[in-house]
Every structure is written in C-alpha cells, then in structure tokens.
Amino acid sequence: MTPPFILEIAFVILILAIAVGTLVARAAFTAVLLFMIYGLLIAIAWIRLSAVDVALTEAAIGGGLTGMLLLGAVARLRESEGSGEEPGLPTLLAAGTFCVLVSAALGTLVLSRPEVAPSLAPAVMDNLAQSALGNPVAAVLFVFRAFDTLLEKVVLLLALIGVWSLAPDRVWGGVPGLRLYAEPSSILVFLAQLLPPIGIMIGIYMFWTGASYPGGAFQGGTVLAAMWLLVMIARLQPVPAISLRCVRLLLVVGPVIFVAIGLLGFVFAGAFLAYPPDYAKPLIVIAEATLTLSIGVTLGLLVAGPPDRMQQP
Amino acid sequence: MNSIALFAYCGAAMVGLGLFGLITKPQVLRKILAFNVLGTGVFLLFGVIARRGAAAGLHSDPVPQALVITGIVVAFSATTMAVVLLLRLYAETGEATIDSDDPPSTGTDGGR
C-alpha cells in the first residue's frame, strides 16, 4: 500500500519547510519546538524507507529526549540567548553557494549508478539462522557488528562522564540540576502516576520483541528513561546523587555483562563477542536486558545534566 | 523520479540547510540545532542507500540501518555534551553566542 506520489512530495516539502523554520525562528523556544516536530516527521520518513527500527529510534530520540534536553537549555538561558552578529551579505552568499553545491553533489552521488546497488542483505539473511534472532537489524547490532554496539554504549558512558566533569568541584558527586516544578500541577502528578506502569511495560516489550520484530534495547531503554524523568520532574521520586553506589552500578552493569559475554566468547566460541551456537539467544537476551536498564539510566542522567547541588542530609 | 529519489534529495537538502545554519548562525543553541538537522540529513542518505540495497526478501539493507541506529545514539551523546558546554559557557561569561572577529555588539533583536 503506497500513498500517491504527490502526497510524498508534499510530505518532503513539509519536512524541509519545518527544517528551515527551525533555523530561522526568532525565539529559541519556537526553534526547539519546531525541531521536535521535525524529529517526528523524520521518523515517518524512515517508515517510508522501510526502516521501522530506525523510525522508533528517531521518534524516541529526535522527537523526544533531544527536545527535552534542548527545552531545558532554553529555560536555563532565560531568553538571554543574545542575537550575536550575523555575518555580512558576502559571507552569507558564499556559505549559501557552498551549501547548495554540497547538497547537489550529495543528491547526485547517492543516486548515481551502479544499477545494482551494493547490499549486504543477502549475507545477513544467509547467516540469520545462526544468530538465533528473527530481526535482521537486531542480528547486525548484536551478532554481526556486536563490537560497534558495545563501543556505542561506551560512547554513552563517556558522554555522561564528560557531562558530569563540567560540574564545579564543590558539587562533585551531588544531585543533577534537572529542572523540577516547584509545585507540580495536579495534571502533571496524575500523568506521572498513570503513565509509568504503561511506559515500563512498553519499554520492556520493545526490548523483548526486538529479537524478532522491530524494537530493541536502545528504543526500550529510551522509553524507560522518559518514564524515569517524568516521575522525577513531578517530584514523585527524588533525583539521585551521582555518587550513589547503586546509580554507578546500574550505569555499568549492561556494558560490563556485555564485555563479560564477549570475553567468554574467547573460551567457548573462539573469538571476542562470538556466541556458542546453542546459547546464542539466551546470552543475547541477557546482554540486551541489562543494556536496556543501563541505557535507560544513562540517558536519564544525560538529560538531567551535571550536578549543581549537594544532597540534602 | 520515484519516492526513493525524492527522499535522497530531501536528505541532501537537509545536509545543505544544516550546514548553512551551522556556518551562519551566531547563537550556539542554533548551531546545535543546525548540526542535528545536518546529521539527520546524513542519516536519511544512509536510509536511501539501505532502501536501494533491498535484496534477499528484505525491503531495506539491515547493515546501514544498524549503522544509523548507532549513529543516532552517538549524535545524541554529542548533543548532550554540546548543550552542557553551552550552559557552562553561559554560566562563565553570560554569553551564548559566538561572534566571528568583532567584539560582542549590542546587536539587533533576533539576529535577522
């Protein structure tokens, strides 16, 4: 079932118009809101490109967490973003010409021949049975290119260390400066009580179903992070100090177990991150389950930002 | 032209738009937004390559898809870092813009 082509053209024009709006909006708040809409539209574009796993990721991150992060930044800049000085007309013209050339070159290159586009899809499908997973994208992420996925988790942790290290010395180990409502409205509290049970179910389901259908650890972890942030913002749960041992443990448990399984691969399957044939599925599920938890906590703390006060005794 | 080509041009145009914003916008927050627009454009081009590589009964090559999922995570990490650096810059200097060479001007509202 495909929509008429004219609708797709209209859709692409809408995406580009909102992208322009994001860049030219006068108020930073408007720009961020447009960017969130843009993220959701891009998710739809991914569905049109038959990449549902990516669509879920883009909707959760581009439309969700990035938006929340940037809205927090706008609130902290308090309308004092400043206007700076726009470059003069010659610079604008030169930059414009350069960018048009880059776009034109990219568009031409990506669509240029070879007539038969290179593809690793046959190789993936040939070996899919060995991976014990039904979802080819999950098989690439956790079996064929598992090293990439491991390093991606390390990047997340490194980013968190980077964020924390920007805190002033005196509040090191303190409580992240997530902006909370002084007196949450009853609607926010109601939603923060109503949504998490459903959200946690959806998060776990996304990770569980990811083995065979679109979904996965990262998408599930993002939903868990969103639920956690909601509960913290509504002041139903306190924001934890980053020095708490259980926080540190939750952050590293996923990557550590993934690395441990990878090292066991040396012993039982002859290579790092290789799975013994009969135990591939259970090992992957264990790794994914702990990674989902760690990703949820890492993303939540990334959005919460660097610590800005010590814990009240 | 088919819908794959359409999304290829869309991705290419997004890269250009993001690049333009990144170069010309003096406010750091707008640079971060523009950088994200640029990034989604690059990812979309990956999606087009994946869609063109449809084979073996799949509608889309899974390898570029997995790369893009990893890429989105890394882009988010970089964005978080950038936002925190911006907030620190603002806390230290009271400014959230990067001017080219000139000393900070009083400026006109909105920067347009």
Number of domains making up chain B: 1
Q: Are A83 and B40 within 8 A, CB to CB?
A: no
- B112 pLDDT more than 70: no
Range from A121-130, A200-209, B37-46 carrying the lowest mean pLDDT: A121-130
Residue of A nearest to B16 (CA): A99
Task: Give the DSSP letter string of B14-83.
Answer: HHHHHHHHHHH--BHHHHHHHHHHHHHHHHHHHHHHHHHT--TT-SS-HHHHHHHHHHHHHHHHHHHHHH
Mean residue pLDDT across chain A = 83
User: A165 at the B interface (CB within 8 A)?
Assistant: no
What would the mean pLDDT of B40-59 be, rounded to a whole number?
A: 81
The tokens 């890492």 sit on which residue?
A298
Nearest to A221 by CA among B43, B33, B69: B69
Segment 101-130 of chain A within 8 Å of chain B by CB: 102-104, 106-107, 110-111, 117-122, 124-126
Residue of B nearest to A111 (CA): B5
- B13 pLDDT more than 50: yes
Q: For residue B66, list chain A residues with Cβ-Cβ distance below 8 A.
A: 137, 140-141, 145, 148
- B89 is in which domain, residue-wise? 3-98
Phi–psi pair at A97, nearest 5 degrees: -60, -45
What would the mean pLDDT of A194-209 be, rounded to a whole number?
A: 88
The pLDDT assigned to A1 comes to 53
Q: Is residue B92 part of a domain?
A: yes
Q: How far apart are CA A46 and CA B45, in angstroms?
A: 11
Instruction: State the CB neighbour count (10 A cutoff) for residue B85.
Output: 15
The pLDDT assigned to A79 comes to 61
Q: Is residue B111 part of a domain?
A: no
Q: For residue A303, list chain B residues with Cβ-Cβ distance below 8 A.
A: 80
Prediction ipTM score = 0.88
Q: For residue A155, list chain B residues with Cβ-Cβ distance below 8 A.
A: 73-74, 77
Q: Is residue B48 part of a domain?
A: yes
Q: Are A218 and B73 within 8 A, CB to CB?
A: yes
- A136 pLDDT more than 80: no
Q: Are B37 and A87 within 8 A, CB to CB?
A: no
Query: Which residue type sits at B56?
Result: A
Q: Are B51 and A51 within 8 A, CB to CB?
A: yes
Dump pLDDT digits (tens) for A72-112.
888 888 766 666 677 778 888 888 888 888 888 888 887 77
Q: Is residue B107 part of a domain?
A: no
Which of A24, A69, A111 lies nearest to residue B83, judging by beta carbons?
A: A69
Q: For residue B68, list chain A residues with Cβ-Cβ distance below 8 A.
A: 51, 54, 57
Q: How far apart are CA B12 and CA A160, in angstroms?
A: 31
Could you tell me the pTM of the whole model? 0.87
The pLDDT assigned to A307 comes to 85
Most confident range, picked from A263-267, B12-16, B51-55, B57-61? B12-16
B86: number of CA atoms within 13 Å, CB side?
28
Range from A6-15, A283-292, B67-76, B99-108 carrying the lowest mean pLDDT: B99-108
Q: Is residue B39 part of a domain?
A: yes
The pLDDT assigned to B106 comes to 46
Range from A178-192, A240-254, B31-45 carrying the lowest mean pLDDT: A178-192
Q: Is residue B66 part of a domain?
A: yes
More confident of the two residues A36 and B112: A36
Q: Residues 6 or more apart from A297 whose CB is under 8 A from it?
A: A225, A228, A247, A250, A251
Distance from CA of A294 to the nearest CA of B (A): 14
Which of B18, B68, B110 lies nearest to residue A83, judging by beta carbons?
A: B110
CATH of the domain at B9: 1.10.287.3510
Instruction: Quickly state the pLDDT bin for B78 (edges 50, 70, 90).
Output: very high
Q: Is residue B25 part of a domain?
A: yes
The tokens 């570029």 sit on which residue?
B64
Segment 60-79 of chain B within 8 Å of chain A by CB: 60-63, 65-70, 72-74, 76-79
Which of B8, B40, B88 lies nearest to residue A111, judging by beta carbons?
A: B8
The pLDDT assigned to B34 comes to 93
Nearest to A305 by CA among B33, B80, B79: B80
Q: How far apart are CA A245 and CA A230, in angstroms?
A: 23
Q: What is the percent of chain B where pLDDT is above 70?
A: 82
Q: Is residue B109 part of a domain?
A: no
Burial of A150-178, coded b for 16+ CB within 10 Å and e otherwise, reads bebbebbbebbebbbeebeeebeebbbbb
The pLDDT assigned to B107 comes to 44
Q: For residue B96, what are its two tokens?
A: 């959230």
More confident of the two residues A40 and B110: A40
The pLDDT assigned to A115 comes to 63
DSSP conformational letter for A116 = S
Q: What is the percent of chain A where pLDDT is above 90?
A: 12
Q: Note whether A196 and A117 are within 8 A (CB).
A: no
More confident of the two residues A140 and B17: B17
Q: Are A81 and B79 within 8 A, CB to CB?
A: no
| Ordered alpha helix ranges (H), A78-216 | 89-111, 121-131, 136-139, 146-164, 186-209
- A14 pLDDT more than 90: yes
* Three-class secondary structure of residue A307 per DSSP: strand
More confident of the two residues A153 and B102: A153
More confident of the two residues A281 and A257: A257
